[in-house]
Amino acid sequence: MSNPLYAFPTVGEQTLRALARYPSRNAFSWPGGSITYQGATDLIGRIQAVFTRLGLQPGARVAFLTANRADTWCAGVAAQLARLAITWLHPLASLEDQLFQIEDSEAQMLVVDAAAFRDRGGELAAKASGIGTVFTVGPADYGIDLLQAIEQAGSASARCLANPDDVASLNYTGGTTGKSKGALRRHREYGGFAGAILADFEIPEAARYLTVAPISHVAGTKVLPTLMRGGTVHMLRGFDPEAVFKTIARERINFTLFVPTMIYVLLDHPALDKTELSSLELVLYGASAMSPSRLSEALQRIGPVFSQLYGQTECYPVSVLRKADHDPKTPELFLSCGFPIAACDVRILDDDDREVKPGEPGEICVRAQHVMAEYWKRPETTAETLKNGWLHTGDIATADERGYMYILDRKKDMIVSGGFNIFPREVEDVLSQHDDVAMVAVIGVPDDKWGEAVTAVVVPREGTRPNADELISLVKARKGSAHAPKRIEFVDKLPMTGVGKVDKKVLRASFWAGRERMVG
C-alpha cells in the first residue's frame, strides 16, 4: 500500500476542484448546446449515483465507446469517483479489436454513445462475455438509456470515494503479437498527468480548446488542464475541415490539437486563406511523423503557434517541442521529438541500461510518477518493459548536448500512420490467410500525408493473380480502415536473412533512401 500522505489528489478530486472554481463559466460547448462548470458537477454527481447503485466491486472495469461529447466524459469521471476503472475503446477500431479489449480488461459494464455507435454498440453488447450492464447515452433497442436513468435518479452530490491504490484506468496500446496490451494505472500513477501537462505545455489561460481528435485518446488528456485553466472545451464529433474553420472563427478558439494528416487537409483546403485564425495561440500536434516542408508551410500560413508532443500510452507526456523551438532559422529542430518535460527523468540508454553519450543512439527510457503500473495480465512483458527502474519505450533515438531528442527508428516494427499505431504483424496475419498470398511483409513507407503509409509487399501463390483492392478490403473489414494498406506491391520473392526471416531492413531501404525516419 502506498502512503496517502504523499499521494496526488485523484484526477476525480482535481476535476471537482477545477469545476468548483468557476461555477458560472461554460465548461463544455458543442454544436447546439453547452453546459456550465456547475452543470457538469451536477451531472457527474447524478451519474455517479446511478453507477454506485449497481454495487460493483472497486476496480471493476467500465468500457466506453463514444464520440466527443461532454456527458460521456463526465460519465468517465463519475465512474472513477465511484472506485470504478475506465477503459476507452478506440472509436475507429474493428469489432474484433474492441471485443478483445472488453474481454481482456474483464469489463463488467459498457457505456455506448448511441448517436454515433448504436449498431456497433449493439454488436458488442450481444457478443462480449462478462458484461452485466449496458448503458446507452440516448435511446437504443438494447441496454439502459443513461440519460433517462439520471433523470429518474434525481440530484446527488459528486464525492470521490477512490483512494490512491484503486485502479483508475486501463488503456490499450498496440502489441507485437497483434494483440493490444492494457496499460494499467492506479490513482497514484494517474494523478500527476494534468499537472505535468500544465507545467510544460503552453496552454493559454481561460483556454478555448477545440477537440477534434478522439477524447478517448490523447486529445482527452487536455480536457482537465483546460478546466484547471478556467477554460471551455469546444467539442466536435469528428474531423470536418469546414466545421473546424467555422468553429475557430466563431468561438475565437485559442488552443487545439491535431494529428499531422489533419493539418495537411487544412493547409490544402480553400477556406484556409479566407478564415480568421488570429485567435489561435497554441496548436499541438503529434502521434505521427510530420513533413518538415509542410510544417514550414503551416508556420508561414497559420502562424508561430505550433508545438509538438511526444509520449506513449505507457507514459504520457514525455517531451515537448515548444513554439519557440519551431524557428525556421533552426529547421533541424523540426526533426526532434522535443525536450523532456520537468515531470519526467528521461535518458537515452544502451542495451545494458547505461546512458549513452550525446549523439549516440540508444533507447528512450523514462521515470515519472505518471508511468503505468503494469501491463494487465502480462507479467513477463511488464518485467521486460519496466526493468531496472526504467520504462523502456522501444523508441531508438539520439539526444544533442542540450537534451533535445531525435527518434531514429523503433526497436520494434511499429508503423505510425495518420496518428495511429499499427503493428505490421496484425496486417500480415490477415493478408497471409488469403488463398492467393504465398508470403507477405508489411512495412511503413514515407508519405507526405500519412507520415508513414502502410505498405504490403506480397508474393502471390504460383498460378494466381491477387487483386490489390480485394486484399485492402479484407484488412479493412478485419482490422479497420487505419490498418488497411495504402498500397500493395507484388514481388517474386522477399529478401531473407541468414536465419530465414524476412529482412525488413533491406525491404525498407528502397522506400526510405534519402529520407529521415522520424516520429512526432
* pLDDT, tens digit (0-9, with 9 covering 90-100), for 193-207: 999 999 999 999 999
Report in angstroms the alpha-carbon separations of 168 from 44, 51, 174, 243, 469: 16, 15, 20, 34, 42
Report in angstroms the alpha-carbon separations of 442 from 298, 447, 451: 31, 15, 16
* pLDDT, tens digit (0-9, with 9 covering 90-100), for 466-485: 999 999 999 999 999 989 99
Q: What mean pLDDT is predicted for residues 111-123?
A: 97
Please provide the distance, in angstroms rounded to a whole number, between the alpha carbons at the two ends of the chain: 37
Q: What is the rounded distance in angstroms from the CA atom of residue 376 to the CA atom of residue 116?
A: 29
In eight-state DSSP terms, residue 184 is: E
* pLDDT, tens digit (0-9, with 9 covering 90-100), for 170-185: 999 854 334 789 999 9
Confidence of residue 27 (pLDDT cuts 50, 70, 90): very high
Confidence of residue 25 (pLDDT cuts 50, 70, 90): very high
* pLDDT, tens digit (0-9, with 9 covering 90-100), for 320-366: 999 999 998 888 898 899 999 999 999 999 999 999 999 998 999 99
Domains of the chain plus CATH, in order, are 37-191 (3.40.50.980), 194-410 (3.40.50.12780), 415-512 (3.30.300.30)
Cis omega before residue 328 (within 30°)?
no
**Integer Rg of the chain from CA:** 23
Of 3-17, 128-142, 413-427, 481-495, which one has max mean pLDDT?
128-142
Q: What mean pLDDT is predicted for residues 89-105?
A: 92
* Number of Cβ atoms within 10 Å of the Cβ of 3: 8
- Confidence at residue 500, expressed as pLDDT on a 0 to 100 scale: 46
Q: What is the rounded distance in angstroms from the CA atom of residue 248 to the CA atom of residue 275?
A: 9
Question: Is the pLDDT score of 421 beyond 80?
Answer: no
Confidence of residue 520 (pLDDT cuts 50, 70, 90): very low
For the record, the C-alpha cell of 507 comes out as: 525491404
> What is the side-by-side order of every strand in the sheet holding 362-368?
344-349, 362-368, 391-399, 405-410
In eight-state DSSP terms, residue 338 is: B
What pTM was estimated for this model as a whole? 0.82
* Residues pairing with 133 in the sheet: 109
Confidence of residue 510 (pLDDT cuts 50, 70, 90): confident
- Average pLDDT over the chain reads 91
Task: With beta carbons less than 8 A apart as the criterion, state whether 121 and 110 touch.
Answer: yes
What is the per-residue burial (b if ≥16 Cβ within 10 Å, else e) of 196-218?
Answer: bbeebbebbeebbbbbbbbbbbb
Dihedral class, residue 90 (left if φ above 0, else alpha if ψ from -120 to 50, else beta) = beta
* Residues pairing with 443 in the sheet: 455
Residue 57 identity (one-letter amino acid) = Q
- Confidence at residue 517, expressed as pLDDT on a 0 to 100 scale: 43
Q: What is the rounded distance in angstroms from the CA atom of residue 460 to the CA atom of residue 172?
A: 34
Question: Is the pLDDT score of 499 beyond 60?
Answer: no
* Residues pairing with 310 in the sheet: 319
Question: Is the pLDDT score of 461 beyond 90?
Answer: no
In eight-state DSSP terms, residue 63 is: E
- Confidence at residue 292, expressed as pLDDT on a 0 to 100 scale: 75
- Phi then psi dihedrals of residue 272, to 5 deg: -55, -50
Q: What is the rounded distance in angstroms from the CA atom of residue 48 to the CA atom of residue 161?
A: 10
The better pLDDT of the pair 482, 423 is held by 482
For the record, the C-alpha cell of 100 comes out as: 478483445
The better pLDDT of the pair 159, 264 is held by 159
Q: What is the rounded distance in angstroms from the CA atom of residue 141 to the CA atom of residue 242?
A: 33
Question: Is the pLDDT score of 52 beyond 90?
Answer: yes
Residue 323 identity (one-letter amino acid) = K
- Chain-centroid distance, C-alpha 475: 21
Angle at 35 between CA 34 and CA 38, to 5 degrees: 160
Percent of the chain predicted with pLDDT > 70: 95
Residue 459 identity (one-letter amino acid) = V
Q: Which residue has the cell 490539437?
A: 257
Q: Any long-range contacts for 472-476 (C-beta under 8 Å, 24+ apart)?
A: 474/430, 474/431, 474/434, 475/427, 475/430, 475/431
Question: Is the pLDDT score of 284 beyond 70?
Answer: yes
Question: Is the pLDDT score of 17 beyond 80?
Answer: yes
For the record, the C-alpha cell of 490 comes out as: 507484388
Question: Is the pLDDT score of 519 beyond 50?
Answer: no
Task: With beta carbons less than 8 A apart as the criterion, state whether 305 and 263 touch.
Answer: no
Q: What is the rounded distance in angstroms from the CA atom of residue 119 to the CA atom of residue 95?
A: 11
Report in angstroms the alpha-carbon separations of 124 from 15, 86, 127, 455: 30, 17, 5, 30
Q: What is the rounded distance in angstroms from the CA atom of residue 338 to the CA atom of residue 325?
A: 9
* Least confidently predicted of 50-59, 146-155, 457-466: 457-466
What DSSP string describes 154-166?
Answer: ----------TTS
Question: Is the pLDDT score of 508 beyond 90?
Answer: no
- Confidence at residue 175, expressed as pLDDT on a 0 to 100 scale: 43
Question: Is the pLDDT score of 4 beyond 90?
Answer: no
How long a stretch of residues is the chain?
520
Q: What is the rounded distance in angstroms from the CA atom of residue 79 to the CA atom of residue 50?
A: 10
Report in angstroms the alpha-carbon separations of 97 from 92, 104, 180, 320, 496: 10, 10, 8, 31, 31
Q: What is the rounded distance in angstroms from the CA atom of residue 99 to the CA atom of residue 119?
A: 14
- Confidence at residue 174, expressed as pLDDT on a 0 to 100 scale: 56
Cis omega before residue 446 (within 30°)?
no
